[in-house]
């Protein structure tokens, strides 16, 4: 949870700097939009900080229990997190919009228990209803990625509301950029494990990425690899990523600027309505 607080604090600093720049440029509309985003981020930080305090208090209470009780319950299965928190864990690891199937696969590889993609079917709608009934009540919301052209929900891609808007937008090149970025983040997560005895789901996930990134596997291992050279996978992903990042970043930044000027707070998270999508596309 600490890393989420750090990310929100960094985002608030970025917004404050952007507000100063907009003020110097006498762009009152941009100042207003950035101030609204700063307020949303501050509310998310407050809610997450309170949740962290409650978790710390609960942890302290648990530590005070007797060692005998701890031994009695050590053989029990761990309490499973709600589906939305499990999804949040995976998206935090990937740091890119992801489809339910990938979320389920990554969760199986790196976290305890299974997360069926079917459990995610109604999750986005539930999150949007919760936000509209009580905006900002939760430290984060799971929301769809937004398309760069129509600023509408991207089908089947989930993101986290506390991410910068640019990170939640997908353009024509984003699918490949996200694939390569998630490969790097999964490689980082793998290095924190015992690489001499990787679980089968982790190995299978790495192979999936390696087989779809040119140069990530030596030719002799293309079809029969049982292990992955993480540095080679990382180099191959980074080499291809440099080809697409600049163009993709420009597309998403331009779409984010358009979204901030055209969408309200709820639509910035959950997308513009289908009826207004064509109108938004035509507005510069």
pLDDT for res 69: 39
Of 55, 75, 97, which one is at a domain's C-terminal end? Answer: 55
**Pairing status of strand 169-170 against strand 153-160:** unpaired
Distance CA 100, CA 85 (A): 14
Percent of the chain at pLDDT exceeding 90: 51
Report how many domains make up the chain: 2
pLDDT for res 223: 47
* 156 inside domain: yes
| Predicted confidence (pLDDT) at residue 161 exceeds the cutoff of 70 | yes
The structure tokens listed for 31 are 């100042």
* 71 inside domain: no
Select the highest-mean-pLDDT range: 32-46, 69-83, 250-264: 250-264
Distance CA 184, CA 238 (A): 8
| Predicted confidence (pLDDT) at residue 2 exceeds the cutoff of 80 | no
| Structural domain containing residue 152 | 83-282
Helix (H) or strand (E) holding 27: none
Same domain for 244 and 108: yes
Same domain for 172 and 35: no
* 74 inside domain: no
Helices 174-191, 200-211: crossing angle, 10 deg rounding: 140
* 150 inside domain: yes
Same domain for 92 and 43: no
pLDDT for res 74: 43
Tens-digit pLDDT profile for residues 93-145 = 999 999 999 999 999 999 877 788 887 878 888 999 999 999 988 999 999 99
Same domain for 227 and 122: yes
Average confidence (pLDDT) over 29-54: 73
The structure tokens listed for 54 are 């409650």
pLDDT for res 48: 67
Average confidence (pLDDT) over 43-52: 68
Average confidence (pLDDT) over 78-93: 85
Terminal-to-terminal C-alpha distance of the chain: 39
Same domain for 50 and 102: no
Same domain for 213 and 141: yes
| Burial class (CB within 10 angstroms; exposed 0-12, middle 13-18, buried 19+) of 218 | exposed
Same domain for 115 and 51: no
| Predicted confidence (pLDDT) at residue 71 exceeds the cutoff of 90 | no
Tens-digit pLDDT profile for residues 255-277 = 999 999 999 999 999 998 654 55
């Amino acid at each position: 949870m600490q890393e989420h607080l750090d990310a929100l604090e960094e985002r608030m600093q970025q917004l404050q700097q952007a507000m100063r720049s907009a003020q110097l440029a006498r762009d009152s509309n941009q100042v207003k939009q950035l101030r609204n985003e700063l307020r949303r981020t501050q509310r998310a930080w407050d809610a997450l900080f309170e949740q962290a305090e409650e978790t710390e208090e609960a942890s302290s209470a648990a530590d005070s229990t007797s060692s005998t009780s701890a031994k009695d319950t050590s053989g029990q299965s761990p309490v499973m997190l709600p589906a939305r928190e499990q999804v949040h864990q995976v998206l935090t690891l990937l740091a890119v919009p992801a489809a339910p199937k990938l979320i389920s696969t990554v969760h199986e590889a790196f976290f305890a228990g299974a997360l069926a993609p079917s459990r995610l079917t109604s999750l986005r709608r539930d999150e949007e209803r919760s936000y509209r009934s009580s905006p900002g009540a939760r430290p984060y919301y799971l929301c769809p990625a937004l398309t760069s052209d129509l600023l509408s929900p991207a089908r089947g891609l989930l993101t986290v509301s506390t991410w910068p808007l640019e990170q939640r937008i997908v353009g024509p090149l984003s699918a490949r950029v996200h694939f390569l970025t998630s490969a790097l983040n999964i490689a980082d997560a793998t290095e924190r494990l015992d690489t001499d005895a990787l679980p089968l789901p982790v190995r299978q996930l790495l192979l999936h990425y390696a087989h779809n990134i040119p140069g990530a596997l030596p030719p002799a291992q293309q079809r029969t690899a049982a292990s992955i050279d993480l540095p080679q996978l990382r180099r191959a992903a980074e080499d291809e990523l440099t080809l697409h990042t600049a163009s993709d970043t420009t597309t998403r930044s331009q779409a984010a600027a358009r979204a901030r000027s055209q969408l309200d707070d709820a639509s910035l998270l959950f997308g513009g309505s289908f009826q207004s999508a064509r109108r938004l596309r035509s507005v510069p």
